[in-house]
Structure 1
C-alpha cells in the first residue's frame, strides 16, 4: 500500500493559504512532550493510565486523560509523528476549540468501549498513549477519502476498501509490537468512524457557545505567537457545516484570523496504546 500517496490525499483537505501550523496541534505536541519528561520527576502516568476498573471506581478523569501519557521515547515520537498531519488538517477545517472538544469526545468514547469490554475480559490491563487519537483520525479521514475513492489499489490484482485501510497499520503494529493494545487501537478506530458518521454532532457545544467562549478568552488567544494560527469558530463553522469534503477539495478556502502578538515512570503490566 502506498502510504505516501495516502498522506498526499489527506493534504487535499487542507484549505488553501494555511502556511502556519495550527495552534492546538502544536500545543498538543509540546504538552505531550512535557508530560513525558515530567513523568521522570512525578508519577504522571500512574495517575492517568486507563484500566477498565476506572469506570466502576468512578475515576473518570482517566477516561479522557490516558492519551496524554507515554511509556517510552519511541512510543511518544511514533504517536507525535502519526498525529500531527491528520490533526492539523482537522483543526484547519473545523476550528481550534471544536477540535479540542472532539479530541476529548474521541478519548472518552474509546475509553468507554475499552472499559465495558475490559471489565469482563481484562479488568487490570492498563493503556496509555495518543494512538487512540491517531487511529480515530485515520478512521475519520478514511471515510472521507472513501467518498472520493471507494477502493485503494494494493497491486494490479488486489484492492482494499478505502474505509478499511486503517486496519492495515493496526494489524502490522499488533504483529510487530505484541505489547501494544490491539483492542485499544480498534476502539480508537471505531470512535473515528463514529465521528465521521455524525454520532458526536449533538455532543459538541453549538457554534454560538463556542464563539462566546472565544470572546471571553480573546486576550488569551491573542497571546498565541504569530507563527501559529488559531482557527476561530466564526470562520470554521461555515466550511464545517457543509459536511462534504468532496465538493470543496479544490476550491474552498477557510478564512482565518491570525493573531500576530509577540510574545517516576509508570509501573505495572500496562499496555502501550500505540507503538
Structure 2
C-alpha cells in the first residue's frame, strides 16, 4: 500500500482534534486573527478591509505603517484563507516549539512582517517601477519553509531529481517558481522576499532580533506567564532550544523534521500555492 494511501486510511478526526487542542499559544493567536479577519470580511465590506490592510507601495506613509503588520493577516476569500491556515499552522507550531511563545509573537507581529514588506516595497517601487498590492500569509509560509530547508540541508544536503543532485536549501525557491507558473495572480516577488528573510534567520544573520533568554526569563517570572497562560511555551520549556534541531540530535526514523527532502518541502508548501496574490 502506498504511504499516502496508508496515511489517508489512518486519518482520524480524534487525532485532528487532539492536534488542534495541543497547538501552542502564539500559533492559536495568529491563526485566530487570520480567521477573525476573514469573518470580519463577511459582515463588513471585504473590499474595505483589503484596501485598509493590503501592502501597496504607493500607499505606504507615516499614517499607514500598519500595513506592514496587517497584509499577512487578510485574504481574498475563504479558499485563500483556508489554504493559508492549512499551510501555516504546522510550520508555525514547530517554530514556536523551538523558539518559545514570546519570541514567536514578537517576530511575527514585528520583523517577520516588516522586513519582507520593506524589501518588497523597495524592489517593487524603485526597481520594477510598479505598484502592485499584495496580501496573504504565504509570505510567512515561505519564510518558515526557508528556515526548514536550511535545517534540512545541514542533515541532508542534496535530493535526487533524476540524474541530478539538487541542494536541499533550494526547495522553497523551486516551489516558488513552480507556483508562479501554475497559479495566476500569485506574487513571485512577495514569495521571494519572504523566503529571503527566512534564509537570513536560519543562517543566524537576524538572530539579534530575538530577545535574550535572560530578559525573557525575567518577563516570564515577573508575570508568571507559564502559570497563567495555557499552552504557553516558555524559554526553558522549548522543545529543541533557541537555535533549532542540530543534525547530530536527529533520531533515525523519527518524525522530528517534517521536511526531510525537497519533495517534503513541496508537499508542505503546495497548500500555500495561492496564498499570496496580486490585487489588480
Tell me the TM-score range normalised by the shorter chain. Answer: 0.7 to 0.9
1:127–1:272: 8 Å Cα contact kept in structure 2?
A: no
CA distance in 1, matches of 2:187, 2:62: 22
Match of 1:163 in 2: 169
More helix by share: 2
CA distance in 1, matches of 2:227, 2:123: 40
**Which of 190, 194, 203 in structure 2 is aligned with 1:188?**
194
What is the TM-score normalised by the length of structure 2?
Answer: 0.75
Q: Which moved more, 1:56-65 or 1:104-113?
A: 56-65
What is the TM-score normalised by the length of structure 1?
Answer: 0.76
Moved over 3 A (4+): 54-58, 215-221
In the superposition, relative to structure 1, how do residues 89 and 72 fare at CA in structure 2: closer, same or farther (>3 Å)?
Answer: same
2:138–2:275: 8 Å Cα contact kept in structure 1?
A: no
1:154–1:160: 8 Å Cα contact kept in structure 2?
A: yes
1:24–1:100: 8 Å Cα contact kept in structure 2?
A: yes
What pairs with 1:172-211 in structure 2 (closer than 5 Å)? 172-211=178-217
CA distance in 2, matches of 1:239, 1:57: 38
What pairs with 1:1-275 in structure 2 (closer than 5 Å)? 20-42=22-44, 43-57=48-62, 59-103=64-108, 104-120=110-126, 121-155=128-162, 157-218=163-224, 222-224=228-230, 229-236=231-238, 239-241=241-243, 245-250=246-251, 273=276
CA distance in 2, matches of 1:109, 1:231: 25
Say which SS state the counterpart of residue 160 (structure 2) adopts: strand
1:16-40 deviation digits (Å, cap 9, x = unpaired): xx99322221222222111111023
Q: How far 1:146 sits from its partner (Å)?
A: 0.2
1:180-222 deviation digits (Å, cap 9, x = unpaired): 1110001100010011111221122222222333344436962
In the superposition, relative to structure 1, how do residues 34 and 244 fare at CA in structure 2: closer, same or farther (>3 Å)?
Answer: closer
Q: Which runs of 5+ in 2 are unaligned?
A: 5-18, 253-273
Q: Which runs of 5+ in 1 are unaligned?
A: 5-17, 252-270
1:105–1:200: 8 Å Cα contact kept in structure 2?
A: no
Match of 1:267 in 2: none
Q: CA RMSD in A?
A: 2.7
